[in-house]
Structures are given as C-alpha cells and as structure tokens.
Structure 1
C-alpha cells in the first residue's frame, strides 16, 4: 500500500512538473521573442493561495512604473484613511469657525460634488480658512513642465476646489465651472489652454469638447472662489501650533474615491489622497511624510525598497520592481475581501483604462492597474485562470519604441497562456 502511494505521489509530481515546465517554456518563448529585443521587460507571477512563484523574469530589477504607482497610493490610503472622507478639520468660537484643509479632493469636484464645507460654513457668521498647511510643492518632483495646461496635471493643494481645474464647454455659448472665472476665458485659435503663470484660459474655436484646465492655485484665486460663494464671509488665517481636534467627515465613502482613482487613473485624486492620508498623522500636510511612514512601518519587509516620489506616477523619478508590486498586491489580497478588492480595480474588457483590452470572453479574467508614460507600459494586478486559481502578477515594460497597442497585444498573449494553462 505504501509503495502504491509513493508511486502515485511520484506520478502526480511528474505530471505537475511537466505542466509547470510547459507553462514556463510557453512564457519564455513569448517574452524572449524578437519583439522584446530592444526594450526592458520584467514579469513576476505568484499563486495567491500557495504563494508559489509561477514565473519570474527580471523581477528584482527597477522599472519606471508610471501609474502602477497608484497601487502603493491605494495601499497607503487603505492603511490610514477611515471609511468616509475627512472633509476638513475645524475649531469653533462663538459665531466663528476656523477651517483647516485636509487635502480632501472631493470638495465641489465635478464627479463627487462634496459640499460639506459649504453646509458647515453656512451656520457661522465668520469663516476663517487656513490654506498654507501643505509642505508639498504644487507640482511633484520630475513632473513634465509642459503639462501645466493639461487635464492630468492639476496642482496639489491643502484645500482643493472644483478638482483644481476649470471645466470649459460650449453649446450655444461658453460654459465655465467655476462660473466666476468665465471672464477669464477667451475663444481663440490656439493649442494653448492657459497662460503659464496665471488663470487666463483659452478655448479653441475649433474645439467643441469639454476641456479641463488646471488652475493656478494661490491666495488670490482661493479668495475669489470663496467670495463668489459666500461674499464678505471668508477671511484667511495662518496655521498655528495648536492642534485641531475636530474633524468633519463627508458622506462620501473613501472606496468610491479609490475606485475612481484606479479606474480612470486620476492623477489629481492620487496626489490628494496621499496628502489627505497625511492629515491623519499631522495637521501639517505632506505626501512625503506618508510615503516615509508607510515604507518604515507597513512596508518595511519589501525585498527591494522603491524610489517613491509621488502618488500618481507622473514622475519618471519613481523606480519600482515587479516584486515590490506583487508584495503589495499580495498584502491587499490577504487583507481585503476579494469582492471589495476587485471592485476597486479596472476590469479587463469591461471598465476604465482596461475597457478595450484583456477581454475574457464570457467572463473577465484580469483585474489590474495599468501605467503608461512615453515608451513605458506596465500592468499589475490579479488574473483568474480557467481552473479557478488566482494569480498575482506585475508585468513591466520600459524603453520600447513600438506602439503601446502592440505591447499590450503581446502582453495579452502571455496572460491568455497563463489563464488557459495554469
């Protein structure tokens, strides 16, 4: 009986070994094809249940991650933020309320339209606003300066309004949000959308689309925006050393913020999310303090410490390895129920940045975050095989000269091979 059992174990091990060898050979044949000759590629695939490494290729090498960085931002926010958004901190004294920004990105945001601050301020005769409690610069290190007028590069601030952009559209006439800036918009034939240093905007006469143009955030603009809402009610105060012990929470669940950031790869939400997370550590806001805190505590076991400089991945200074992404994705998988976790990620062939790629036929099989910046594309997340296994992966591609669409198609053949053969 014992000999028969040994034979059975040996046969099963041999079958598994053959399948594993076939799987690895199939992937190697794909990623060592001539298509990949003149680029840098890394791939790590791990079984979520057993933690066994299914495939590894340059997994400990550093890559430019682009928006894959948002996976680290998501993890940080989930560690530090409560279930509902901390809209702002405040103190009250008689008929006066003093409001301190927490970096909350949803206030009057076109998608979320949080109005918690307006409702609170309405009940007081005087409103003092502290807006200079942010240590971060308005732009992240390594951001491209020429993106100053593009929708994906808004300035960072302690108390954002309207997503820190002017939303301009036209039907019969120009429509501008916030409306108070309507007089700052000129219709003209130009590719430029805003002056470099001030809030003078341009709407191309040939354009009939809705455009979002980043605002230049300064005290003059903040005063103008608040004055339009509550005339002669708002004054500014400087940050003090006395801590704010009261927090006003909006009715917006933080999961809705995470989902939006991940699905459409919203850079503004990502940057402000780290800033907002820092409000749980101190009244002085700093995304750097959050990155340092998370790496020192929750992520002190990373096999390769990343160079992590922003929340969005806009910066080419960011450097991460496939192993680091798989480690963080594994922590998320172990800490959060699968239904909730997968709901936060774009779904292949279904939603967000993956809507046109990685289709699964009758059912989705990819739940992942993409990252794209010139000549670099990566995808990290979860893959469900036909056998029902969950694989955690990070597939990173840097410095290619082909089209990103071609890169995606070649990656898709690897994912389909894993789905069908594991």
Structure 2
C-alpha cells in the first residue's frame, strides 16, 4: 500500500471519527432538550437536515404523522411555483362585438383590500355588455373538516371561482362607519353579540364600542355576485352558468410572488385556498383544487417518503396529516430549485415579519425563515435555519395535542433552534 493511499485512508478515518463525534454531540444535546417532562403529555416530531451535505443532523419521530395546521401552506407554495407563471392569471375571457365574457380562474386579488387589483374592472369598462360566467368551480365553498362555527370568522372566507373583495366585508368604525364594499353598509347592524353575521345570510353585525377594523366572510351565490358587480359596473352585467365553452384569452393581474409572500407572511387561509384553485386553472377551465393536489403528489412529489393526507390549501382542516420528513423534503426541493434570496423573501422572518415577528429573533441578524402552523392545541414550524458558521439547515419541528400555552411550546423550540445556530 502506497504512502499516499495510507494518508488518504487515515484522513477518511479521522474525518469519519470527527463526524461521528459531532453527530453524537448534536443528538445528545437536542435529545436532552426534547426528552423532558415538558413533552410527556404531547406528541413531538423533529427533523433537521443539511441540504449541502445531504446529512440528517437530527431526527425524532420524523416519519410520524401530525396535524400540520398552516404548515400545509408550504405544499401550497410549492404547487403554485410549479404551475403558475410570474403574473397571476386573473381571468379567462372571450370578445364578441361590444360584449366581453369573463370566466374566473380563482384569482383572489380582484378588489382585495391588500392587493386592490382592478384588472377585470378596467377591461370590462370598455364594453357595453359584461357577462360573468359562474359555477365553474367544483370545490365546495368550505374545505373538508373545516369547523362549521367559523363561518363568520375572518380566517374562513368561502372559496369561489371569481372572488371579489377577498370574499369578505371589511368594516371600520374608528371615525364613522365605513365598509368595503360600500353597498353592504346598509346590511350592517349594530349589536354587542359575539357573532358577526347571520349563519347563511349577508346580514352583518358590528360592535361600535370596539371601533376596530374587522373582516367578515360574505355568503357567495350567483345573485349576490351579480349585485356586487352591478355596483361597480351598473347597467352592464349579466350572469351565466358555466357550460364548458373554452375562453380564447387570459388576462393577468399581480406579480405571483406578491401573492405567495402575503399568503406565507400573514398565513392567509383564503389566499392559500384560492392559490390551489388558480393552479388548477392551468390544467382545465373547470376548477378543482383536489385534482391539482392529486397531480402534484403523483408527479413532482411522487418521491415523498411519507405521502401525506392533504385535503386543503390552508391547513384549516384537522383531516390533514403530514410528517416532518415530508416538509423537509419539499423545503429541500424549494431550496435547490428557487434562488435563495427569492425563496427566503417569501417566508416569515424570525423576529421581523409576519407570524414570526414576536418569535425566534436573532442577535444581530435573522436566523430563522419559516412557516408556522397553529390550530387548537397544535403548533409547528418548518423552514430554514442559518447557523453562525454559515450553514443552512432545513427543519420541521411539529407539536400536537398539548394542553399548555403555545407560548411555552415556542420557548422550548427556540432553545433548540438557538443551540443549533450556535453549535452546528
């Protein structure tokens, strides 16, 4: 055996020994943090992965299934990036003399209070007759497993093929009562009831004593949509049901990344649901979010080691079941496929933005870029961790079925993240 071969073999043995020691050191310290009495009465899973070396840094119940809550939006983001172009397809349309026929794609930005897109309105103003095609969405208005009592909650608007105003009524009573859309102001009643809307009727309730801004989901049906459209384009609107006729053109609205960023940053359930519907519009004029979920699981994500039960785009449903390993796999795909600056810009930043503004702050700079998921007695966080040594780690830390305050769970998680940041 040559001297060179002997030195090479010695180097490999030393490297393997050092790596084994480091791995043992990491596992010992993180396990010590997790296997305490604090976690005895809950279900916890963790996976930390180094995408540069393809090494598993730490794993604990990584193959088990958890209720993911809004971590589900990571899969929705991945799907959108696979299907949608750089500009959101606002609607499909056909022109005939002085008439425009418009068919929804699920774009949630039309007259939305954050995006305030008016692409459809600007185009429709140029025509004497405007026909809105309705009922090309096969999804139910609510997702499977959604809580029925959330019908009036801001986070649970109805899904639809052509949303308008984000499918919510926005009320502000700070100075004088203001509503968006204005036409629904006459449907607002002053009361101190805890409910904000009649169960299946567009009669809304507002407490003047609070004087805050609230959003209340609207009941979406054909007649109501016609009323809202006639308000902005009086004398022009007609409504027809979808009959399968293919539209000739596509109009585009906002930059796609602006929609994804908003969904991820504030964990907007409505945007997440509509993004999957939008993705389905690239497959067919008949909109169906279930078909796009099935397609991507059977194609781009067919290599997942633990295929999830994935029933909605937002994570509102407790029927969803995902394993930490699945989130890490998808996050790794995103990390390898999307430029780093663009990717990290889409995620909430620990200590700085969105749902992570009050948590996981760095010392001199951010070290966590991740999506949280919160639903009663469950909290998870999945994303990217930047260590002091400059390494980027992909992680998923999931907690289910605890009775203690979520803030205590977050503190324990932060201690693990900070240890990894400082010691890896």
Could you say which TM-score interval applies, normalised by the shorter chain?
over 0.9
Partner of 1:124: 127
RMSD of aligned Cα (Å): 1.0
TM-score, scaled relative to structure 1: 0.98
The offset of 1:48, in angstroms, is 1.3
* Worse-superposed segment, 182-191 or 4-13: 4-13
The offset of 1:170, in angstroms, is 1.0
Partner of 1:98: 101
Question: Given the alignment, which residue of 178, 201, 204 partners 1:201?
Answer: 204
- Structure 1 distance, partners of 2:36, 2:287, is 48
Q: Output aligned runs, 1:337-352, within 5 Å.
A: 337-352=339-354
SS of aligned partner of 2:25: helix
Q: Are 1:173 and 2:208 an aligned pair?
A: no
- Structure 2 distance, partners of 1:101, 1:125, is 20
SS of aligned partner of 1:415: helix
The offset of 1:366, in angstroms, is 0.6
**Tell me, which stretches of 5 or more residues in structure 2 are unaligned?**
none
Question: Given the alignment, which residue of 150, 153, 157 partners 1:150?
Answer: 153
Partner of 2:238: 235
SS of aligned partner of 1:237: strand
Question: Given the alignment, which residue of 76, 81, 85 partners 1:78?
Answer: 81
Question: Given the alignment, which residue of 279, 285, 296 partners 2:287?
Answer: 285
Question: Given the alignment, which residue of 407, 410, 416 partners 1:408?
Answer: 410
The offset of 1:7, in angstroms, is 3.8
TM-score, scaled relative to structure 2: 0.98
Q: What is the aligned length?
A: 421
**Tell me, which stretches of 5 or more residues in structure 1 are unaligned?**
none
- Structure 2 distance, partners of 1:310, 1:39, is 25
SS of aligned partner of 1:86: strand
SS of aligned partner of 1:420: helix
The offset of 1:8, in angstroms, is 4.2
The offset of 1:231, in angstroms, is 1.1
Question: Given the alignment, which residue of 214, 219, 224 partners 1:216?
Answer: 219
* Worse-superposed segment, 304-313 or 232-241: 232-241
- Structure 2 distance, partners of 1:11, 1:97, is 73
* Worse-superposed segment, 215-224 or 77-86: 215-224
Question: Given the alignment, which residue of 7, 25, 30 partners 1:27?
Answer: 30
Partner of 1:298: 300
- Structure 1 distance, partners of 2:389, 2:355, is 26
- Structure 1 distance, partners of 2:160, 2:287, is 9
